[in-house]
Structures are given as structure tokens and as C-alpha cells.
């Protein structure tokens, strides 16, 4: 009994350790989504469909809306006191001054990098006449993308009960925006000099400290309000996979801002626990098809390429399946170069790759095998032929006799 108890406890400890290895690290952020852009797959989510304030992550929508709606981004515009006076006193600013002459392109960088509400308001008013008109464009874009849990009432992200989104919608928005080359360039820039000489820097430096390595964060947009907490959208690349990480409603302790810390923690976890797992090696034997009436008994099908998928190190191998559809048997009738079937590779019932299979080697006939299998046919045919010959000669003989 004692021996069985020891074995039972060992098994429990083994399996509990295995499950723990799969768990994502605990994070301070209340709303999280981790998305693999390369494979179009959510890797992890935490309350990602809850409607919440998103602070300056709103400026992602402001920026991509401006890029798509302003015809000449290098047009020069003038910053006025009327624009600057409506900037909220608790909003972050880029440092624009009354009378500054800049381009719309400058304002995009000044909006995204230092999260300047002065730049964001300038974009809206100078391009659309007023903020409400520009916000309508933002909401129209949100509907186009399919952000069903998002509504904008301003261009900066300041708290408002009717201004909300979700971690999942923020990911969808960023996914859409990153497809635009200019937005991607702005999003991944850390420092930029405007045409008026003003230097703007990413707020990522403001929230990070020397104890946190932010080098893997390739692009980002931070945000903070009282209702939203500390937020961060980020782009990272791990093992040649682009990842979007959204963290919302994080807190801070001293100089530790958990929107940064959580993101770095998630990046480290994925880097250490995920990789492009080799599911099938190139040239690996996948299937054999029986061959009839030939010197070879079977025809071997090999993988035409290496099949990989971005998965955790302890992925479920039973979730990977290969399905063949095509000819069940081959013979000398099948010609080289003709299609004999296809091989489909699945992981968790999702198609990864389809391999078209053509006959690559000539199948030579083996007469002896045909004779062995159909000997009774040959015997019957031989006897039948003899009978026919006998009948033929009998008819000929009778015909000659009559003459």
C-alpha cells in the first residue's frame, strides 16, 4: 500500500509540474492579449473582451485615420493658440508652440512618440475643421475593421464613459494599422526631429528603468489615465514571429511601471518557452502505397518540405495529424509525372500545409507476378483457346469432306 502511495504522489507532482510549465506568468495588468501576427493566432488572453478605458492607445486610431484621410502629409500647417488652449491640463504634450510651422507628418510622430495631445488635437482640427468631425472618421474606421466593442468620443483617450475599447479590439486595430508602412515606421521609431527642430522621444523611455530590458519591444504606444491605469501596446519579434502584446489597466510601484514589466515578462516567457517546432523533417517518410504487378511492393511518399509551427516546447504531439487522399494502389499503368494524391498536414484540426503528390519514379511491370496472381485465368484462356482451335479445325474438316 505504501509503495502505491509513493507512486501516486510522484505522478501527481510530475503532472502538476508539467501543467505549471504551460502557464503564462502572473501579471499585474488586468486585461491582456498576446497575438501571433505571423500565424494569426491568439496565444494568450486575460479578460480581453471587457470594455474599458484605453487612454492614449486611442492615438493609434487617430494616427492611422489621419494617414488614410489626409492626402498630403507633407503639407505645412500652423499651430495656433486656439488649438493649444483646448488641450487638457492633465494631458501629455509634445511641446508645440503657438505659431510653429510643421507638417502633418511631423504631427503624426509628435502624437505617437511623446503621446502629445497638442499634436493629436492639431491633426484633427487642421485636417477636419473640428475634433468631432475627425472622431466620426475614427469610428467609421473602427466599424470597417470590425471593432464591435469600441467607441471613440475624443482623439486623445482622456477618460469618458462613452469612450472605450477592449484588449482584443486594440489588437485588431494595431494589426490593421501595422499593415500601413508609414504607421509601422512611426510605431517603431524611438526618436524623431520635427521640421521646426523639436525633438520628440518615445514615452517608453519615461516608464522604463535600467532594470528592465526593453530592447525586444520593437514598437509601442503607452497610455495612462485614472480609469485606464497604465497601458501599453507593443510589437515584438520572437523566433521570426511578429507578436502584438496588449496590456491594459496596470499599476505602478515606485519606479516600476507594470505595463512595461508585464510586457517584458511575457516576451521573456514566450522567448524561453516557444519556438518553431519541427513537426516533420524534409524528406521524412510519410506514407507508403501498395504497388501491384511490379518488382517493388510499395511506393514511398516523403515530405516535400520541413513542416514547422510556432508552439510551446511541450506542445501536444497528438494534435498534429497527416491525412492522405488519393490512389490506394499503384501499378505500371500509372505514368511518371501524373498526380496520385495529396497530403494535408493539420495541427489542432487547422490546415498547415498541403502537399501535392506526383509519381516521380517509373513503375516497371513484373510479368511473373501477373501470371502468379491470374494463373487460373491463363489456364482457362489456354483451355478455351484449345477448344476454339479444335472446333475450328473440326469445321474445316467437315467443309472439306462435303466438297
Catalytically annotated residues: 56, 59, 115
Helix (H, G, I), strand (E, B) or coil at 90: coil
Q: Are 354 and 344 in contact (CB under 8 A)?
A: yes
Alpha carbon separation from 402 to 389, 391, 394, 397, 398 (Å, rounded):
20, 17, 13, 9, 6
Alpha carbon separation from 83 to 283, 293, 375 (Å, rounded):
65, 87, 98
Alpha-helical regions (H) of 162-309: 167-178, 181-187, 204-207, 258-273
Give me the DSSP letters along 126-150: HHHSSHHHHHHHHHHHHHHHT-TT-
Give me the DSSP letters along 91-128: S------TT-EEEHHHHHHHHHSS--HHHHHHHHHHHH
Q: Taking Cα atoms as reference points, which of 22, 7, 132, 123 lies closest to residue 63?
A: 123
Q: Which three cell numbers stand for residue 258?
A: 507594470
Helix (H, G, I), strand (E, B) or coil at 185: helix
Cα separation of 300 and 291, whole Å? 10
Cα separation of 234 and 251, whole Å? 17
Alpha carbon separation from 327 to 341, 355, 357, 367 (Å, rounded):
6, 15, 10, 22
Block residue for cell numbers 489615465: 225
Residue 6 CB contacts under 8 Å (≥ 6 apart), including other chains = none
Give me the DSSP letters along 336-374: TT-EEEEEEEEETTEEEEEEEEE--S---B-HHHHHHHT
Amino acid at each position: 500500500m505504501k509503495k502505491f502511495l509513493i507512486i501516486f504522489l510522484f505522478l501527481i507532482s510530475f503532472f502538476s509540474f508539467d501543467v505549471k510549465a504551460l502557464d503564462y506568468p502572473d501579471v499585474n495588468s488586468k486585461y491582456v492579449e498576446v497575438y501571433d501576427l505571423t500565424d494569426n493566432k491568439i496565444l494568450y488572453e486575460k479578460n480581453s473582451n471587457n470594455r474599458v478605458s484605453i487612454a492614449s492607445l486611442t492615438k493609434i486610431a487617430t494616427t492611422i485615420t489621419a494617414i488614410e484621410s489626409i492626402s498630403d502629409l507633407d503639407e505645412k500647417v500652423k499651430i495656433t493658440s486656439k488649438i493649444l488652449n483646448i488641450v487638457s491640463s492633465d494631458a501629455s504634450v509634445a511641446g508645440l508652440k503657438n505659431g510653429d510651422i510643421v507638417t502633418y507628418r511631423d504631427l503624426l510622430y509628435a502624437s505617437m512618440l511623446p503621446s502629445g495631445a497638442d499634436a493629436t488635437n492639431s491633426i484633427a482640427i487642421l485636417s477636419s475643421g473640428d475634433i468631432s468631425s475627425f472622431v466620426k472618421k475614427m469610428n467609421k474606421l473602427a466599424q470597417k475593421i470590425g471593432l464591435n466593442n469600441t467607441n471613440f468620443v475624443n482623439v486623445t483617450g482622456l477618460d469618458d464613459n462613452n469612450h472605450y475599447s477592449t484588449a482584443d479590439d486594440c489588437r485588431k486595430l494595431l494589426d490593421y494599422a501595422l499593415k500601413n508602412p508609414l504607421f509601422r515606421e512611426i510605431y517603431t521609431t524611438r526618436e524623431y526631429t520635427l521640421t521646426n527642430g523639436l525633438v520628440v522621444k518615445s514615452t517608453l523611455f519615461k516608464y522604463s528603468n535600467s532594470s528592465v530590458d526593453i530592447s525586444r519591444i520593437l514598437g509601442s504606444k503607452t497610455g495612462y489615465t485614472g480609469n485606464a491605469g497604465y497601458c501599453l501596446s507593443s510589437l515584438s519579434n520572437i523566433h521570426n514571429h511578429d507578436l502584438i502584446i496588449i496590456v491594459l489597466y496596470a499599476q505602478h510601484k515606485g519606479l516600476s511601471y507594470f505595463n512595461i514589466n508585464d510586457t517584458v515578462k511575457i516576451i521573456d516567457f514566450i522567448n524561453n518557452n516557444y519556438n518553431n517546432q519541427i513537426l516533420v523533417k524534409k524528406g521524412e517518410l510519410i506514407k507508403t502505397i501498395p504497388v501491384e504487378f511490379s518488382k517493388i511492393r510499395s511506393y514511398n511518399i516523403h515530405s516535400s518540405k520541413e513542416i514547422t509551427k510556432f508552439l510551446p516546447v511541450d506542445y501536444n504531439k497528438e494534435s498534429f495529424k497527416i491525412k492522405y487522399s488519393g490512389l490506394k494502389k499503384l501499378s505500371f499503368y500509372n505514368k511518371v509525372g501524373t498526380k496520385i494524391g495529396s497530403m494535408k498536414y493539420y495541427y489542432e484540426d487547422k490546415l498547415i500545409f498541403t502537399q501535392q503528390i506526383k509519381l516521380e519514379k517509373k513503375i516497371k511491370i513484373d510479368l511473373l507476378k501477373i501470371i502468379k496472381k491470374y494463373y487460373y485465368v491463363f489456364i482457362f484462356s489456354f483451355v478455351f483457346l484449345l477448344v476454339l482451335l479444335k472446333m475450328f479445325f473440326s469445321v474445316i474438316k467437315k467443309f472439306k469432306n462435303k466438297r
